[in-house]
Amino acid sequence: MTFMNRRRLITWIATAVTSMMLVIGLQFVNFSPASSATTLNVYAAVSLTNALNAIKTQYQNANPGVNVVYTFGASGTLLKQIQAGAPADIFISAANDQINVLQNSTPSKLVAGSRKNVVKNSLVLIVPTTFPISAGSAGLTSFNGLTNANITGIAIGDYTGTPPVVPAGNYAKQVLTKRGIFTTLSPKLYLASNVRNVLTAVENKTLVVAGVTKTISAGAVYKTDAAISKKVRVVDSAKVAESDTIVYPLGILTRSKVLSTAQSFSNYLSGSTAKNIFKNNYGFVLP
Kindly tell me if the per-residue pLDDT of 33 is higher than 80: no
Q: What's the pLDDT band for 135 if we cut at 50, 70, 90?
A: confident
What's the confidence (pLDDT) of residue 50?
98
What's the confidence (pLDDT) of residue 212?
95
d(CA 274, CA 125): 27
Mean pLDDT of 250-270: 98
84-131 pLDDT, tens digit each: 999 999 999 999 999 999 999 999 999 999 999 999 999 999 999 999
Kindly tell me if the per-residue pLDDT of 28 is higher than 70: no
> Which tops the pLDDT comparison, 26 or 277?
277
Q: What's the pLDDT band for 11 if we cut at 50, 70, 90?
A: low
Residues linked to residue 191 through DSSP beta bridges, in sequence order: 156
d(CA 5, CA 258): 64
Asked if 128 and 232 count as a contact pair (C-beta separation under 8 A), the reply is: yes
pTM for the full predicted model: 0.87
What's the confidence (pLDDT) of residue 12?
45
DSSP 224: H
Q: Residue length, the chain?
A: 287
Judged by average pLDDT, the poorest of 15-19, 169-173, 274-278 is: 15-19
Asked if 146 and 179 count as a contact pair (C-beta separation under 8 A), the reply is: no
With vertex at residue 219, the alpha carbon angle to CA 217 and CA 221, rounded to the nearest 5 degrees, is 160
Kindly tell me if the per-residue pLDDT of 24 is higher than 50: no
Q: What's the pLDDT band for 139 if we cut at 50, 70, 90?
A: very high
159-185 pLDDT, tens digit each: 999 999 999 999 999 999 999 999 999
Q: What percent of the chain has pLDDT over 70?
A: 87
Asked if 164 and 78 count as a contact pair (C-beta separation under 8 A), the reply is: no
Query: Tell me, which fold does domain 123-242 have in CATH?
Result: D-Maltodextrin-Binding Protein; domain 2 (3.40.190)
187-198 pLDDT, tens digit each: 999 999 999 999
CA distances for 193 relative to 76, 81, 88, 183, angstroms: 10, 15, 21, 21
d(CA 184, CA 187): 7
What's the confidence (pLDDT) of residue 7?
53
Q: What is the mean pLDDT of the chain?
A: 91
Q: What percent of the chain has pLDDT over 90?
A: 86
Kindly tell me if the per-residue pLDDT of 230 is higher than 80: yes
Please state the domain extents for the chain.
38-120+246-281, 123-242
Kindly tell me if the per-residue pLDDT of 20 is higher than 80: no
Asked if 148 and 235 count as a contact pair (C-beta separation under 8 A), the reply is: no
Kindly tell me if the per-residue pLDDT of 9 is higher than 80: no
> What's the one-letter identity of residue 7?
R
Asked if 277 and 51 count as a contact pair (C-beta separation under 8 A), the reply is: yes
Kindly tell me if the per-residue pLDDT of 281 is higher than 80: yes
d(CA 135, CA 27): 72
Among the four given CATH numbers 3.30.565.10, 3.90.1150.10, 3.40.190.10, 3.20.80.10, the one describing domain 38-120+246-281:
3.40.190.10
143-163 pLDDT, tens digit each: 999 999 999 999 999 999 999
d(CA 114, CA 203): 38
